Amino acid sequence: MHPNHDQPTYSDNDIQNAGQPPEPKPLAPTPVVHDYLHPIQDKPKHAYHPKRMMIVLSSIVAVSLIAVAIMLIYALSPTQQNKKTNGSDQSNKSTPQKDALTAKQTVKNVAVYFKGQEKPKSPITRPVMAPGKAFYTVIPDVPPLVGIAGPVSADKSDMQLESILKAMDYDKFAKKVREDGANNTNYLADLTRDDVICQVQVIKQKDVNAEHWTELRCLDMGTYAEYAETQQPLAALYTPLTASSVQYGFVGKPMTKPSQTDGYTHAELPVSTVIDNTMTSSNRLALFYQSPDKLWRYFTDRDSNLTVECEQYDTPNLKTAYANETCRRVKTGASETIIPPKKR
């Protein structure tokens, strides 16, 4: 047969895609139309609201306070307190405590190394604050002392002093050197514990080859407490002590004597300011008097070498209490006798 030139011809692709719908023709892009009368609005921004922010902050603060309160309640609960107590008890147990000691035992311990055969000749000069007192006490008396003393050759003096100090250090005494003994001068040191107060002193002569007088003197804290009790009634009336932050010390026991006026009594008590555990003066006396009502009153301070100024006896009660005593005029320095007021 002859080919029919009127029939269409097909390619391989046409044959493979036979029976499938024809691919759609791409659409022409839609033209962009700008609506200048209705412009596109920007996205709204978040507005700041003070009230809302305050509410948020208040909520945060409230939650924080509640959390702190819960922590405090937990920390202060009995269980936690017991834990802390147990912990502190354990720490105390691990800290070595000083064994109780007396002045007598202290001297006995030192006597192993120091063979002095005599007794101390000088009192302890250090002021000591007895338990429960607001003032210092100095005991000027030698008899209450417990000690050991004696001469030591100059060439062995340093070695002897060192052995005494080592024995005191072994018994856990705190040392404060007051005079270092350099250049052939005297040596003086305070040695203190809560229960015993001591001083060690080495007195040297001008002759460098002469013997050194060496002594250890001690007192129990209980002895200071006894002296402080005798000072307490007058110390409580001492105006400078109660009216300022300055520290004061009293020396010995009050010295009393009857007034020349019936029913009155005088008392004097050496007093000094205390700085760095040292009495700053040694000639100041605090004066007190007792009236017929048995009450004590503080009068004034005076120098132990001078009488009180006449101008200070400015009340009938003082003139009565100190009648016929001698006073001193400020302007002239002349001595006068205090005249009691006339009885009505």
pLDDT of residue 196: 98
pLDDT of residue 321: 97
Q: What does the block give as tokens for 258? A: 């009857």
Architecture in CATH of 103-220: 2-Layer Sandwich (3.30)
The CA distance from 65 to 77, in Å, is: 18
Phi, psi of 69 (to 5 degrees): -60, -40
pLDDT of residue 47: 52
At 343, is the pLDDT very low, low, confident or very high (cuts 50, 70, 90)? confident
Mean pLDDT calculated for residue range 169-190: 97
Mean pLDDT calculated for residue range 257-286: 96
Q: What is the dihedral of CA 81, 84, 89, 95, to 10 degrees?
A: -150
pLDDT of residue 160: 98
DSSP E strands: which ranges in the chain?
A: 136-138, 146-152, 174-180, 187-192, 196-203, 212-220, 248-251, 255-258, 265-275, 278-279, 284-290, 296-303, 326-328, 335-337
Greater model confidence, 212 or 1: 212
At 121, is the pLDDT very low, low, confident or very high (cuts 50, 70, 90)? very high
Q: What average pLDDT does the chain have?
A: 84
pLDDT of residue 344: 67
Mean pLDDT calculated for residue range 262-270: 97
Residue ranges covered by each domain of the chain: 103-220, 237-337
pLDDT tens, position by position, 243-252:
888 999 999 9
Reported pTM: 0.70
Q: What does the block give as tokens for 286? A: 């605090």
The CA distance from 72 to 344, in Å, is: 73
Greater model confidence, 52 or 111: 111
> How many CB atoms within 10 Å of residue 320?
21
Element (H, E) at 109: helix 103-110
